Amino acid sequence: MDLHVTDLAVARGGVPVLEGVSFTVASGEALVLRGPNGIGKTTLLRTVAGLQPPLAGTVGLDREAMAYAGHSDGIKATLSVRENLTFWADVFATDRVDAALAAFELRPLADRLAGNLSAGQKRRLGLARMVVTGRPVWVMDEPTVSLDVNAVAMFAAAVRAHLAEGGMALLATHIELGLAEARLLELGGFRAKAPAADDFDGAFL
């Protein structure tokens, strides 16, 4: 299984931000999207994950293949760490709660209310959700924000284990991920062009 993205154009708030984006992520590979603030990394990730429609182009895998981790961790504060992961295991019909607790060293925190976790612990719980999904494509936006050096290493190990099982990872970040083997895609060359001056309709977009 490969992820083929072809000639994708994406918009945010109705404004085109990137166009002509093509790449392939093969089974066992990680691709890191790079570019300055505001270029459209989040928008591109959300589009690839099927959370918003593209303006043009195709994403050659069904959204059911994707697991998306965005800026918000999607944590339920009044459930414990284990209950949060069990909730997601029910949603995705998997039995990977213990594997997820182990991957992000959450066992000692399993019975703590998620609302009482520190920022880095919350992020670890949010990332552990990816393990629980059992989905082949992990789409992750700034996954290592709030993580200390030790937790970044946990994250890198979890991604490597996922890739070793034939999974794929598509990541956006400004921070070192500890994944030297990941390929990089610079988005600078894919900025959407402003509409032509004689494009009457375009002038109102």
Q: Where in the chain does DSSP place strands (E)? A: 3-12, 15-25, 30-34, 56-59, 66-69, 137-141, 168-172, 183-186
Does the footprint of ligand ATP cover residue 47 (CB under 6 A)?
A: no
Pick 37 or 78: Cβ nearer ligand ATP:
37
Answer for which of 15, 56, 77, 194 binds ligand ATP (CB under 6 A) is 15
Does the footprint of ligand ATP cover residue 53 (CB under 6 A)?
A: no
Which residue in 100, 51, 66 sits closest to 168, CA to CA? 66
Does the footprint of ligand ATP cover residue 175 (CB under 6 A)?
A: no
Answer for which of 5, 9, 21, 40 binds ligand ATP (CB under 6 A) is 40
Pick 157 or 175: Cβ nearer ligand ATP:
175
- The DSSP secondary-structure symbol of 107 reads G
User: For the chain, percent helix, then strand, then coil, each to nearest 5?
Assistant: 35, 25, 40
Residues within the interface to ligand ATP (CB under 6 A): 12-13, 15, 17, 35, 37-43
